[in-house]
Homo-oligomer: A and B are copies of this chain.
Amino acid sequence: MKAEILTIGDELLRGEIVDSNKAFLAERLLRLEVETRFQTSVCDEPADMRDAFLRARGRAELVLVSGGLGPTRDDLTFEVLAQTFGRELVLHEPSLAAIRAFFARVGREMAENNAKQALLPAGSEVLENPVGTAPGCLLEVPAAEGAGSVLFFCMPGVPRELMKMMDEQVLPRVAARLAAAGRPAGAVRAVLLRTFGLGESNLDQELRDVARDEGVVLGFRTAFPDNYLRPVARGATPEEAEARLAKVCDAIRERLGVLVYGTGDETMEQVVGALLAARGLRLATAESCTGGLVGARVTAVPGSSRYYQGGVVAYSNDAKQALLDVPGDLLARHGAVSAEVARAMAEGARRRFGAELAVSTTGISGPDGGTPEKPVGLVYVGFASPAGSAAYELLFPLDRERHRALTTQVALDCVRRFLLGEEPVATRWSAKR
């Protein structure tokens, strides 16, 4: 089954919005081993939309359409789809009722133009949208040439609504069609390995003799500040593909050790949280240059209150003294950006919050504030545990946003590595103290 993903919206072709739906849809199709062969975007012009619908019918058997289902004047997907394939637009009463119920549930008045979202192409199957106002639809039309038909699934452009509709309404229907048609032979299995602490080209060199087996391809991807590895294994049977994948994953893990921190959607903060919870330890944070990012990442995980006590964003020197007990003479002697202050911050947070572990950050994220002795990019990560405290000097010559993001990841990784009994900071970052 050849698939095309067609996203609609002026905002896409004008570049006002990043189209994350294409990636989501392609990834989901791949789970059913459906390959996305074409990705197209058109604007809200009926003529362009019509052309795209007709072209898609001519070259794909499955067309996933996203966008143009909203209540505003530039939302025209159903209207143009119906016209293109000679259908009427008909009011779908249950959808109108669902839209009304949606507004009642969130305590807002329904705007008049939301009603047009319930006008669907005649003969289409409605796809419910429990988290938004726009229903989707499945329209099956005869193929342009030969026998068979083409499936057009229309989904809202709002990613959250699209995701739910794709997973709960579209994929089961696609899977049913595939099952009915008889799946193609062979199987694909893939996994994403998340690494932190080694650059992309060094990873490639490190693994140059890995994944050279028949049927295995190893992909690399930078997702700052991480680098991802994606081994993809094919086999004649699911078992063969799985065995090949397991073999290459084992080889990668053996080579990279602690540099692999997670798989799939697993984030660094989830890994750290799971380790803290498993060991019954609590964490506190003391942040200067990261300004709350470490705490925000830790608390992004549901249930983090089990192991996260809290933190201080000590942006001013006064705050470092008053809330973290950093001695004034330490600040005067070494400056706020120093190993000594990083250690004192971690120790202070550990004590103040009554936590077993604490991590701290203090640095110069820039663009201003650097000196010849302490240049922009310099940062110290401090760590305190019942065994004592330490600080690590790092230099990241990056812009402010990336400096803060990388520092945050190093701080989280420092906690993870401590809990695993490993070196606290990846050697790549050339820890000095």
Binding site for B on A (CB under 8 A): 10-20, 22-30, 35-36, 39-41, 70-74, 105-108, 111-114, 133, 158, 160, 192, 199-202, 204-205, 219-223, 228, 230, 285, 287, 289-296, 298-300, 302-305, 308-316, 318-319, 322-323, 352-354, 366-368, 395, 397, 399-402, 404, 428, 430
Of all chain B residues, the one with the shortest Cβ separation from A39 is B41
Q: How many copies does the complex hold?
A: 2
Set B16, B71, B296, B315: member contacting A290, Cβ < 8 A: B296
- CB-based contact A204/B72 at 8 Å: yes
Q: List B contacts of A26 (CB < 8 A).
A: 12-15
- CB-based contact B24/A15 at 8 Å: yes
Asked, given contacts A16-B221, A292-B295, whether A312 binds B311 with beta carbons under 8 Å apart, the answer is yes
Q: List B contacts of A292 (CB < 8 A).
A: 285, 287, 291-296, 298-299, 311, 313
- CB-based contact A22/B24 at 8 Å: no
- Give 19 pairs: A residue, B residue, CB < 8 Å, sorted on A: A11-B219, A13-B39, A16-B23, A40-B40, A70-B201, A72-B204, A73-B204, A107-B430, A108-B199, A160-B399, A291-B296, A292-B299, A292-B311, A300-B400, A303-B368, A305-B315, A309-B319, A310-B316, A313-B313
Asked, given contacts A15-B28, A17-B221, A74-B219, whether A305 binds B316 with beta carbons under 8 Å apart, the answer is yes
Q: List B contacts of A12 (CB < 8 A).
A: 22-23, 26, 39
Q: Name, among A192, A200, A295, the residue most crowded by chain B CB atoms within 10 Å (CB to CB).
A: A295
